Amino acid sequence: MRSPSSVTPSSDTRRGVLTLTGLGVALVLAIVAGVAFGAVSVPLGDVVGAISRSVAGRGSTALADAVVVDLRLPRVLLAALVGASLALAGVLYQALFKNPLADPYVLGVSSGAGLGATLALTVFGTSFAARALGVPVGAFLGAILTMLLVVRLASRRGRVDATSLLLAGIAISYTLSALTSFVLVFERQSMTSVVFWMMGGLGSRTWGHVALLAVMFAAGAIVPLLFHRELDLMLLGDERAGQLGVRVERFKLVALGAASLVVAGAVSVSGLIGFVGLMMPHMMRLIVGPRHRLLLPASVLAGAIALVVADLLARVVLAPVEIPVGIVTALAGGPFFVWLLVRKERLR
């Protein structure tokens, strides 16, 4: 990753403002397309009318209103929030570990959150209270404990080795996925629904899921938005960051907690969706540079766009059959991950 000092502030800011404006427009267009298209298309005028009536409190029994307001709009907004959460976590992990290959899926954090959520469902059942409270709490505990374990395994003499971090993350991810499957063996009644959830999907989600993830995303985003300068300094190395006033270890714990919170929120409502947190920060870093003041919002917007589009493709490519969105992102993210590995080796 480039050093923040290698970028001219004025050109960086100008390019960043244009990029953020373009991404904002693209996100609005993606949301409109996500609501309008699907197994049954809804004309744009009906989409606008349904949303307007809902906002004004004038309910309607029309089929288009039900499809737009009760089914597609919460699903599309949830996709945007999940993509934004995963991209935000990817930016944080890559900055903290100074590793361009770090993301929630590769590091095993998503698998840890998945195991925690599965255990919560197994212990507390599938009631509304269990899903509303038990699953997010279980996912958060699974995510933070997994992150601490992976960092511990990859640490040597107080330093986190980049290669060991990836290997430990992949090994832990496979182990936790196996444990999740083992748990499901004893929960045959809920196996089918949980397996589809683990594959990553946004079907049958409600406004309650949107509200839950919105709260967790807002809480997790506070830290990186307030401390983007510290994230810039972390790219210079722990020692140099400490010399410049960053309380390195404490900041790492707070930032890892924030990343784990948004990953847990995303996993608890959508299952395991990989590679969004890997691809979006990389793409945006090439456009706006490494400064987190711009990289963070750009990656969040790009992640939201990517998952809204991926979810739309998952619904329309084989309609009326719906593909789990995690499969769509894996088909795009797998080759991207290989390209990053090859590029990293060539730059050595």
**272-317 pLDDT, tens digit each:** 888 888 889 988 988 888 889 999 999 999 999 999 999 999 998 8
**Predicted pLDDT at 162:** 67
Q: What is the mean pLDDT of residues 175-183?
A: 86
Please tell me the predicted confidence (pLDDT) of residue 50: 85
pTM above 0.75, yes or no: yes
pLDDT computed for residue 347 by the predictor: 66
Q: How does residue 34 score in pLDDT terms, banded at 50, 70 and 90?
A: very high
How high is the pLDDT of residue 12?
A: 67
The most confident of 89-93, 114-118, 183-187, 241-245, by mean pLDDT: 89-93
Question: How far is 184 from 194, CA to CA, in rounded Å?
Answer: 8
Predicted confidence at residue 10, as pLDDT, reads 64
Percent of the chain at pLDDT above 70? 87
Q: Helix/strand/coil (H, E, C) string of the chain?
A: CCCHHHCCHHHHHHHHHHHHHHHHHHHHHHHHHHHHCCCCCCCHHHHHHHHHHHHCCCCCCCHHHHHHHHHHHHHHHHHHHHHHHHHHHHHHHHHHCCCCCCCCCCCCHHHHHHHHHHHHHHHHCCCHHHHHHHHHHHHHHHHHHHHHHHHHHHEECCEECHHHHHHHHHHHHHHHHHHHHHHHHCCHHHHHHHHHHHCCCCCCCCHHHHHHHHHHHHHHHHHHHHCHHHHHHHCCCHHHHHHCCCCHHHHHHHHHHHHHHHHHHHHHHHCCCCCHHHHHHHHHHHHHCCCHHHHHHHHHHHHHHHHHHHHHHHHHCCCCCCCCHHHHHHHHHHHHHHHHHHHHHHHC
- At residue 188, the pLDDT reads 64
More confident residue, 226 or 161: 226
